[in-house]
Each structure stands twice: as C-alpha cells, then as structure tokens.
Amino acid sequence: MAENENLKGNIATQSSGKINSKIKKFYIVLGMLLLLLIPIMFIYGLLHDRQNYQNEALTKVRQAWAGAQIIEAPSLNVKIPGKKEDEYKQLLLNNYDIEILVNTEYRKKGMFKVPVYTADVYMKGDFKNTLGNIKNLETMLSFPVSDSKGFITPPQVKFLSKDFQYINYTSETKRLTTNNSIIPFEIKYQLRGSETLRVIPGGENNKIEIEGNWQNPEFTGDFLPKEKEVRNDGFEGEWEIPAIAASSINNPQAGVSFITPVDNYRMASRALKYSVLFLALTFLSFYIFEITSDKKKPIHQLQYLMMGAAMLIFYLLLISCSEVIAFWAAYTIAAVMTISIISLYTYNVITAKQDKKFTLIISGIMLLLYIFFYVLLALQDLSLLIGSLVLFIIISVIMYSTRNVDWFNDND
C-alpha cells in the first residue's frame, strides 16, 4: 500500500513538473497571436492617418465649393413707426412651396473624390396680412441660406412687382401699400453645396420637392418624405408638412444627404476589427493539423509569426488598393495574394511537399474565411446573426476534428 502511494506521488510530481506538449504548443500559438496585436495597432494608426488625410482633402474641396446647405423659410417683417422707437412685426408665412432640382458631380482632390452639387431652387408662397390696411410701410423679405458663398448668380425675386428682379443679398426691402389678405412672393436662384441639402419648413402649409441625379440618396432630417422614388438615374422626394407637425420640433428640417455608396476607409476599419478572429481561426487550423497529422512535422513559432505577418499585409494591401480601385476589387486582389503566399508556404515549408491534402484544406479554409468576412462587411444589419451561426459551425468542426486527441498524453 505504501508502494502504491509512493507511485502515485511520483506520477503527481512528474505531472506537475512537466507540461503536456500539446498544451505547451497551444500556449506558444496563443503567445504568437498576442504578439501580432502590436502590428495590428500600427495598421490601425496608419488607417487613422489616411482617414485624416482624406478628411483634409474633403474639407479643402468643400471650403472652395460650398458646405452643407440649409435653406431657411422666407420671412416678411413690417416696420411699424412708433413715437419712441419703431416696431417690427413678422407676418405669418401661409403657403410655402419649394422645388429643388439637384445636379450632383464629383470633384477630385489628389486621389480623393468628393460629391458636390448645384441646386436650382424655386420657391413660392404667400404671407397672411394680419395688419389690415397697410399704407406705405417699409417691409423686408428675407430668405437666408447657411452658406451664401454657394450662390452662383444673384437671386431673382418677384415681390410687389410683376417681373422677377435680381438682388445682391438674401433679403429685399420695399415699401408696401395693400389691404389684401395675402401677400404673394416668388424666389429663384442657383446654389452650390456638398454633403447635404436641407429645407426648414416655416409655413402653415409646407410642400417640399427635391429631385436629383444622385443614385444613392439618404433622406434625412426630422421628416421622411411622403412619396419617394430612387432610380438608377436619380431620385425624387416629396414632403408635405403642416405647421402642427413642425411645431413640436426645434429647428425642424427635411432634406437629402449625398453619401458615397462605399467608404473604403470605413469598410477597411470594419475588416480590421475581425483581424484577430481571422488570425486565431487560421492559427487554430495549423495547430489542429500539427497535433492530429500522421506526418509529424512540428511548426516553429517563427513560422507562425511569418504566416501571421503575411495575413496582416492583407490589410495594408486592402487599404492601399481601395484608394485607387473599388473596395470589392481591392478585397479580392488582397485576398488572392494572401491565400497564394500562405498556400505556397504551407506546401513547400510546413509540409515539405509531403502533404498536398492539407495545403488544399488550408487554402479552402482561408478562402471560406475571406468570403465569410466579406459577407459580414456587406451585410451589416445581419452580421451578428450570420457571424454567430458560422462561428457555431466552426467550433463544431473543431470539436469533431479533435475528437480522438488524447490531451493527457503526449503520444497521439
């Protein structure tokens, strides 16, 4: 009995003093994965710098052209003479209709393209005369925009006149004599802008129509259009907003954002977030091969590092190529180059040209992973669902592949 206890003690001592080779190799692979976090952070920094460079270029274009435009509702103020000081009264904007035809184009700054637009604006409506009989009082009609630098030609205004008249400001001062219940107006001008175009509804009844040639509009603001149509050659949007709907909102707006369909830096940033998972799944494939293969050829930790470095260069290729070609094409080129170099290294070095089957398996795994991650990038709304299902399948395959591994024994 004493001999049995001594034997158990010796076994326990040996077990505590020696780490199983499979577990030891797992820790080594994990350490290599953690070490690769350092270059991942450098790639994040590079991506951030490129984004800043792009933003600087976009800002310069927008400063030279014009920024986002907000078209405010017209207002009419009447000057009422007083004994001590004059009093100004603003008449109520009754019906307000605005039609905008937008022509969008790209302007380049270096390698970056910025969507900008030229808008033909036509507005008409009327003000309610709440003062009754107005005799020779000074009035000011104003129609502000957020960036007046965008005016291409002087505005044309038809107010207390039969014909349109050019003016040099966003306001027109005239003397008014009338006893009509409504005071009509018409205004038209051309306006440049970028990023977004919004309209502030300020009347009792507001009708807004925006039409353009941009294929990927995003209807923004506090109100969705009553009717909208997006075609291959452009879009149309129509809003009808009563005053009661806008009264509960501070500075209500309705409009369109001219977004770029695919922002390569945003997509690259999302792809980089999956880099650790991609490396882990690839390393895990090699690790399982190493502990289950009949051909005992261990993979050195430096070989893991070299393969990891090759997979991280994928992101550098993706960022640089997507600056000059479409993102999907850049992703395809970078993926094919990475899969090719990993496959050649696997066949010629890892398996020493002795195992074509594993080379094909690892190439297929990487191809499926790249397809999987691209689907996650493209289907952002369903990425969590698809990702969860695929990861469940992956862990199931891993559990099945290692079903015969004796983790307590160094001998397979």
Cα–chain center distance at 88: 46
Q: What is the pLDDT of residue 337?
A: 94
Q: Give the C-alpha separation, 76 to 74, whole Å.
A: 7
Q: What is the pLDDT of residue 285?
A: 82
Beta bridge partners of 134: 178
Nearest to 411 by CA among 268, 283, 296: 296
pLDDT classification of 15: cutoffs 50, 70, 90: very low
Q: What is the pLDDT of residue 5?
A: 53
Q: Give the C-alpha separation, 33 to 18, whole Å.
A: 24
Global model pTM greater than 0.75: no
Q: What is the pLDDT of residue 118?
A: 94
Burial readout 312-336 (b: 16 or more C-beta within 10 A, e: otherwise): bbbbbbbbebbbeeebeebbbebbe
Q: Give the C-alpha separation, 128 to 91, whole Å.
A: 6
Q: Give the C-alpha separation, 214 to 104, whole Å.
A: 6
Instruction: Count CB atoms within 10 A of the CB of residue 267.
Output: 21
- The angle at the Cα of 224, spanning 142 to 222, to the nearest 5 degrees, equals 55
pLDDT classification of 177: cutoffs 50, 70, 90: confident
Average pLDDT over residues 77-88: 78
Average pLDDT over residues 139-154: 91
Q: What is the pLDDT of residues 323-365, one digit of tens each?
A: 888 888 999 999 999 999 999 988 888 887 877 888 888 888 8
- Kindly state the percentage of the chain with pLDDT values over 90: 29
Q: Give the C-alpha separation, 129 to 183, whole Å.
A: 7
pLDDT classification of 42: cutoffs 50, 70, 90: very high
Q: Give the C-alpha separation, 172 to 370, whole Å.
A: 61
pLDDT classification of 384: cutoffs 50, 70, 90: confident
Q: Give the C-alpha separation, 334 to 319, whole Å.
A: 9
pLDDT(322) > 70: yes
**Domains of the chain, earliest start first:** 20-52+264-401 (no CATH), 67-258 (2.60.40)
Whether 43 and 316 have beta carbons less than 8 Å apart is answered as: yes
Q: What is the pLDDT of residues 237-281, one digit of tens each?
A: 999 999 998 888 888 999 999 877 667 888 888 888 888 888 888
Helix, strand or coil for residue 344?
helix
Nearest to 126 by CA among 60, 64, 76, 65: 76
Q: Give the mean pLDDT of the chain.
A: 84
Average pLDDT over residues 169-193: 89
Q: What is the pLDDT of residue 372?
A: 85
pLDDT classification of 72: cutoffs 50, 70, 90: very high
Spell out the residues 6+ positions from residue 279 whose beta carbon is closer than 8 angstroms to its own: 33, 36, 308, 311, 312
